[in-house]
A and B are shown apart, each in its own frame.
Chain A
Amino acid sequence: MAEVAQLSTGLRRGTLEFCVLAMVEHEDRYGTEIVRCFGAETNLAASEGTIYPLLSRLRRVGWLDSKWSESPSGPPRRYYALTDSGRSALEHFRTEWVSFRQTVDRLVGTGGE
């Protein structure tokens, strides 16, 4: 069972950050909103609290930008937006991911043929 969890962690590492970038590609989202989306996907995030360190790192590397905005109900929210470098990184990942997925499907036998 531990190997299965480790496999999930390994698959999640390196792809989760681009899922975050894709989530804020078309509109700005605040942290709780992003976390809720990932919470619905059980295969992506282990817990909601692990998303915030990822958001912090993406902001430090310049792929995300954040700004505080008042909330109609509740405390202020930090909204995240995709930067130009983040958009370029996301496009590069999409290109790489297609070829990577095809290769893995062909080798592992999950291509559906």
Chain B
Amino acid sequence: MSSDRFDVVVAEYLREVEQRLSGLPVLQRRELLGDLEAHIANERAESGVSSETELLQVLERLGAPEVVASAAYEEAGLPEPTMPVPVVSVGAVPMPDAVAAASGGQVFAGTVTFAASSRFSGRAERTAFVDTSEVAAMVAASDPAAPAAPASGAPASGAPASPGPFSSVAAVAAPGSAPPAWVPPAPTPQAYQPPPSPAVIPPPDDLLRKRPGPYPPSGPGRASAGAIPGSSQPGYSSGVPPFGQPPYVGGPPLAPPPARSGSSLGWLRAAIAGVAVLFFLVALSCVGGAFLMRSGSVEEAPAVGVPVQTFSQEATDEPTVADTTDAVPPPGVTTPPTQPPTPEAPTTPPLPTATATE
């Protein structure tokens, strides 16, 4: 066996270990894989592995991948993740015709290989003897379209896999027949339907009515507002997948109003409002007065004479213009303007002289 074949076997073993170490930190995983690889290389170099059997013995002593992985998780203090259940495929080995004829198909023994388990896990190949006629009958019973099981050693190839008690059976062999090849189902032609564009997808009603923002998706009122027509589920919170279609984004939510700084400036605002109202009233009164004056509904005020005070004795004795105009005429009667009398020249008293006083 060539060294390349050994490398393939070793790489397969290490790959299976790595698949089971996915829950470990990457450094620990790489370290363990490096140690295992170095161990295998040392064993090959020092023990002189010359056949695949010896190499498999080395790997067997090293341990099954799940055992090594379990120890790694235990040492790391991490829970071991659950591996998915592998699909069991059943192959078949053709039976010689002579044996098939001798058995008559009644107790035909086929070889069932459980290829899902690892070849390094100690469960590599398991054989079981099954009665193919019984299997074919059960397959036929589960699938009415399948041909009936032959009563004798007739080949039963072509029995399709079907759900039921043998849902994991991929093929059932019959004596003298080659293992049936898996034929993929023919694709049904369908017209191409482009995926709906987000622009043509109408937004949910609740988003149109309740702006802003679609979040939180499970907010109050969503259960009834997000109902999908034709669905028995009323809304998102009732089992309808929330992301079955591209979400409608109505825009960012509005920013909350700024917090009030307090009521300390309330009096200032009230004063400003009062001044504004007062200014408005004054302006309104001015405009109204100007309008009334221009319309002429307001009469001019009567002329008022300014009394002239004189320091002479005669002027004080005579009646002044203010005395004559004390009688205000009644409204609607126009009186000619009176010319105020020219006041006489005031008489100045004689200035005392110094000689007189002396």
Residues of A within 8 A of B (CB): 30-32, 35, 39, 46-50, 52-57, 71, 73-78
Contact B38 A49 (CB under 8 A): no
Tell me whether A48 and B62 are in contact in the complex, defined as CB-CB below 8 angstroms, given that A32-B42, A74-B42 are known contacts: yes
28 contacts between A and B (CB under 8 A): A30-B42, A32-B39, A32-B46, A47-B61, A47-B62, A47-B67, A48-B61, A49-B62, A49-B67, A49-B71, A50-B63, A50-B68, A52-B39, A53-B32, A53-B71, A53-B72, A53-B75, A53-B76, A57-B75, A74-B42, A74-B45, A75-B41, A75-B42, A76-B38, A77-B38, A77-B42, A78-B35, A78-B38
Bound-state Cα–Cα, A74 to B38, Å: 9
B contacts with A: majority SS: helix
Nearest opposing residue in chain B for A76, CB measure: B38
Give the residue name and chain of the A residue nearest to B71 (CB). Answer: A50
* Contact flag A47-B64 (CB < 8 Å), given A32-B42, A73-B45, A78-B38: yes
Contacts of A30 in B (CB 8 A): 42
Give the chain A neighbours of B41 by CB distance below 8 A: 74-75
What is the CA–CA distance of A55 and B46 in the complex, to the nearest angstrom? 22
Residue of A nearest to B61 (CB): A48
Asked whether any CB of chain A lies closer than 8 Å to the CB of B285, the reply is: no
Contact count band on B: 20 to 34
Highest count of chain A CB atoms <10 Å: which of B31, B39, B72? B39
Q: Provide the residues of chain B in CB contact with A53, threshold 8 Å.
A: 32, 68, 71-72, 74-76
Q: How far is the CB of A75 from chain B (nearest CB, A)?
A: 4
The interface residues of chain A, by DSSP majority, are classed as: helix
A35 to B31, CA, bound (A): 16
When distances are taken between beta carbons in the complex, the residues of chain B under 8 Å from A46 are 63, 67, 71
Cα A46 to Cα B67 in complex, Å, equals 9
Minimum C-beta distance from A35 to chain B (A): 7
Q: A46-B63, A46-B67, A54-B71 are in contact. Are A32 and B43 (CB under 8 A)?
A: yes
Among B35, B61, B64, the residue within 8 A (CB) of A52 is B35
The reply to whether the CB of B101 lies closer than 8 angstroms to some CB of chain A is no
Query: Closest Cβ of chain A: how far from B220's Cβ, in Å?
Result: 51
A52 to B28 Cα, complex, angstroms: 11
- Kindly state whether residue B115 has any CB partner on chain A within 8 Å: no
**Complex Cα spacing A77 to B37, Å:** 11
Within 8 A of A (CB), among B155-206: none
- Which residues of chain A have C-beta atoms less than 8 A from B28's C-beta? 56
